Structure 1
């Protein structure tokens, strides 16, 4: 897919949400988001041990304010606000999420729900919010089964 095609897709808030992508597409997605002047936030979950660690990583990547409470509700509130990170759109790259999913399946599902609900809320304001989860190709194929 060309860079123009990626930008065209990412520019449409009606289709934004949480999506699994091939890990090989991570950098091209980040570049497309930057070309659209989106805030590109990278959350690296490599070695993430627990929910508290997950919250800290999201807070650091998003430069969340001091009021961030470090729980699911606070994560949903912070992602739905982002007033301290004004941008024409948002692109989260939640990297190495495959390990988190394998170790914390129920929490992973909760995170996906929050990311999708956040995208829906932003789309209501005509603002794109993409949460992309790069997975190795072989794991993507397993997700499709």
Structure 2
């Protein structure tokens, strides 16, 4: 997950994001905040090897904003 596309691809594959997922940060944020497309009532996201998350990009801001938004809804 060294770049944005890698993050989107991992979420797409692991969560089986809905077909309307737009492959951008706003779309990821929307999908993480509105989980009606998931069969489970709750979910936990575990990021393994987090030091590699967006390693090809300065600062993790692109990922943390949607993750925080989704986390607030789930907490």
Where on the TM-score scale, by shorter chain, does this alignment land: which range? 0.7 to 0.9
Q: How many residues align?
A: 75
2:66 maps to which of 109, 114, 119: 114
RMSD of aligned alpha carbons: 1.8
Q: Which residue of 2 aligns with 1:63?
A: 16
Return the index of the structure with the highest Cα Rg: 1
TM-score (norm 1): 0.46
TM-score (norm 2): 0.80
Q: Which residue of 2 aligns with 1:38?
A: none
1:84 maps to which of 22, 31, 37: 37
- Structure 1, unpaired ranges of 5+: 1-47, 124-145
- Structure 2, unpaired ranges of 5+: none
Report the Cα distance in structure 1 between the residues aligned to 2:51 and 2:58, rounded to whole angstroms. 10
Report the Cα distance in structure 2 between the residues aligned to 1:117 and 1:79, rounded to whole angstroms. 7
Specify the SS of the correspondent of 2:53: helix
- The structure with the greater share of residues assigned to strand is 1
